[in-house]
Amino acid sequence: MPFPDEAEDCSHKRGEFMVGCLSGRLCVVNHCNGQHDDIWVMNEYGEAKSWSRMRISLSYWVMRPQCSTKNDDEVLLDVDGDMVLYNFKTDASRRMSIRGYKVGVGFEADTYVESLIAPSSYGKESRARLLALLRLLVNFRETI
Protein backbone atom coordinates (compact mmCIF):
# COMPACT_ATOMS: atom_id res chain seq x y z
CA MET A 1 0.00 0.00 0.00
CA PRO A 2 1.56 3.35 -0.97
CA PHE A 3 2.17 5.69 1.96
CA PRO A 4 2.15 9.49 1.57
CA ASP A 5 5.56 11.00 0.84
CA GLU A 6 4.81 13.94 3.13
CA ALA A 7 4.39 11.71 6.21
CA GLU A 8 6.86 12.74 8.87
CA ASP A 9 9.27 10.00 9.83
CA CYS A 10 9.17 10.04 13.63
CA SER A 11 10.89 6.68 14.03
CA HIS A 12 14.10 8.40 15.18
CA LYS A 13 12.02 10.18 17.86
CA ARG A 14 10.40 6.95 19.07
CA GLY A 15 7.29 7.66 17.07
CA GLU A 16 5.01 4.94 15.79
CA PHE A 17 2.32 4.28 13.22
CA MET A 18 -1.09 2.72 13.88
CA VAL A 19 -3.32 1.45 11.08
CA GLY A 20 -7.08 1.75 11.46
CA CYS A 21 -10.37 2.68 9.89
CA LEU A 22 -11.93 6.15 10.09
CA SER A 23 -15.47 6.56 8.77
CA GLY A 24 -15.02 3.58 6.45
CA ARG A 25 -11.67 4.73 5.06
CA LEU A 26 -8.19 3.37 5.65
CA CYS A 27 -6.27 5.58 8.05
CA VAL A 28 -2.81 5.64 9.54
CA VAL A 29 -2.14 7.51 12.76
CA ASN A 30 1.40 8.87 12.95
CA HIS A 31 2.19 9.25 16.67
CA CYS A 32 5.10 11.65 16.95
CA ASN A 33 6.36 11.14 20.49
CA GLY A 34 3.32 12.77 22.11
CA GLN A 35 4.06 16.09 20.36
CA HIS A 36 1.28 15.83 17.79
CA ASP A 37 -0.56 13.27 15.74
CA ASP A 38 -1.06 13.24 12.04
CA ILE A 39 -4.04 11.19 10.92
CA TRP A 40 -3.55 10.20 7.29
CA VAL A 41 -6.79 9.16 5.58
CA MET A 42 -6.87 7.38 2.22
CA ASN A 43 -9.95 8.76 0.47
CA GLU A 44 -9.74 6.39 -2.54
CA TYR A 45 -8.50 2.95 -1.54
CA GLY A 46 -5.25 2.05 -3.31
CA GLU A 47 -4.70 5.56 -4.74
CA ALA A 48 -1.45 7.04 -3.38
CA LYS A 49 -2.48 10.61 -4.28
CA SER A 50 -5.75 10.38 -2.31
CA TRP A 51 -4.10 10.60 1.15
CA SER A 52 -5.16 13.62 3.19
CA ARG A 53 -3.66 14.75 6.48
CA MET A 54 -5.44 15.85 9.65
CA ARG A 55 -3.14 17.28 12.33
CA ILE A 56 -4.22 17.04 15.96
CA SER A 57 -2.56 19.07 18.72
CA LEU A 58 -3.58 17.55 22.06
CA SER A 59 -1.73 16.49 25.17
CA TYR A 60 -2.34 12.76 25.59
CA TRP A 61 -0.88 9.41 26.49
CA VAL A 62 -3.02 7.25 24.17
CA MET A 63 -5.17 8.58 21.32
CA ARG A 64 -7.30 6.71 18.78
CA PRO A 65 -9.66 8.19 16.19
CA GLN A 66 -13.17 6.69 16.22
CA CYS A 67 -15.15 8.52 13.52
CA SER A 68 -15.32 11.83 11.71
CA THR A 69 -18.03 14.11 10.36
CA LYS A 70 -18.89 13.91 6.66
CA ASN A 71 -16.87 17.01 5.83
CA ASP A 72 -13.99 15.97 8.14
CA ASP A 73 -14.28 19.18 10.19
CA GLU A 74 -14.49 17.21 13.44
CA VAL A 75 -13.26 13.85 14.64
CA LEU A 76 -14.32 11.83 17.69
CA LEU A 77 -11.27 10.55 19.56
CA ASP A 78 -10.58 8.12 22.37
CA VAL A 79 -8.05 10.16 24.37
CA ASP A 80 -6.70 8.44 27.47
CA GLY A 81 -10.06 6.79 28.14
CA ASP A 82 -12.19 9.89 27.47
CA MET A 83 -14.25 10.57 24.36
CA VAL A 84 -13.13 13.91 22.92
CA LEU A 85 -14.58 15.80 19.97
CA TYR A 86 -11.81 17.68 18.13
CA ASN A 87 -12.55 20.51 15.67
CA PHE A 88 -9.85 21.00 13.03
CA LYS A 89 -11.02 24.48 11.96
CA THR A 90 -10.91 25.99 15.46
CA ASP A 91 -8.22 23.65 16.89
CA ALA A 92 -10.57 23.21 19.87
CA SER A 93 -11.58 20.08 21.72
CA ARG A 94 -14.28 19.18 24.22
CA ARG A 95 -14.85 16.13 26.37
CA MET A 96 -18.04 14.29 25.49
CA SER A 97 -20.27 12.82 28.17
CA ILE A 98 -22.22 9.63 27.68
CA ARG A 99 -25.59 9.39 29.40
CA GLY A 100 -25.60 6.69 32.07
CA TYR A 101 -21.81 6.44 32.11
CA LYS A 102 -19.98 7.26 35.34
CA VAL A 103 -17.70 10.28 35.01
CA GLY A 104 -14.09 9.57 35.95
CA VAL A 105 -14.20 5.89 35.02
CA GLY A 106 -11.96 5.35 32.00
CA PHE A 107 -12.94 3.17 29.09
CA GLU A 108 -11.45 2.08 25.82
CA ALA A 109 -13.18 2.31 22.46
CA ASP A 110 -12.24 0.82 19.14
CA THR A 111 -13.68 0.62 15.67
CA TYR A 112 -15.27 -2.61 14.45
CA VAL A 113 -13.97 -3.68 11.05
CA GLU A 114 -15.23 -6.79 9.30
CA SER A 115 -12.66 -9.46 8.50
CA LEU A 116 -12.40 -12.38 6.13
CA ILE A 117 -10.93 -14.45 8.97
CA ALA A 118 -13.57 -15.85 11.31
CA PRO A 119 -12.68 -16.30 15.01
CA SER A 120 -13.58 -19.99 14.66
CA SER A 121 -10.76 -20.46 12.13
CA TYR A 122 -8.20 -20.29 14.94
CA GLY A 123 -9.25 -23.63 16.44
CA LYS A 124 -11.47 -24.69 19.31
CA GLU A 125 -9.12 -23.53 22.07
CA SER A 126 -8.78 -20.00 20.69
CA ARG A 127 -12.51 -19.82 20.00
CA ALA A 128 -13.27 -20.84 23.60
CA ARG A 129 -10.95 -18.11 24.91
CA LEU A 130 -12.59 -15.54 22.64
CA LEU A 131 -16.08 -16.55 23.80
CA ALA A 132 -14.97 -16.39 27.45
CA LEU A 133 -13.58 -12.89 26.87
CA LEU A 134 -16.82 -11.77 25.21
CA ARG A 135 -18.86 -13.12 28.15
CA LEU A 136 -16.57 -11.28 30.57
CA LEU A 137 -17.02 -8.01 28.65
CA VAL A 138 -20.81 -8.40 28.56
CA ASN A 139 -20.93 -9.15 32.30
CA PHE A 140 -18.64 -6.18 33.04
CA ARG A 141 -20.87 -3.88 30.99
CA GLU A 142 -23.94 -4.99 32.93
CA THR A 143 -22.28 -4.05 36.25
CA ILE A 144 -21.64 -0.43 35.30
For residues 107 and 133, the answer to whether their CB atoms sit within 8 Å is: no
Does the pTM exceed 0.75? Answer: no
- C-beta pairs of 11-15 under 8 Å, 24+ apart in sequence: none
Helix (H, G, I), strand (E, B) or coil at 30: strand
pLDDT tens column, 104-135: 556 666 666 666 555 555 555 566 666 666 66
pLDDT tens column, 86-104: 898 898 888 877 676 665 5
With cut-offs at 50, 70 and 90, classify the pLDDT of residue 144. very low
Q: Distance of CA 30 to CAs 10, 27, 105, 135, Å?
A: 8, 10, 27, 34
Residues 6+ apart with CB under 8 A from 90: none
Write down the pLDDT at residue 75.
Answer: 86
In angstroms, the CA 101 to CA 69 distance is 23
Q: Strands 92-95 and 82-87: what pairing?
A: antiparallel
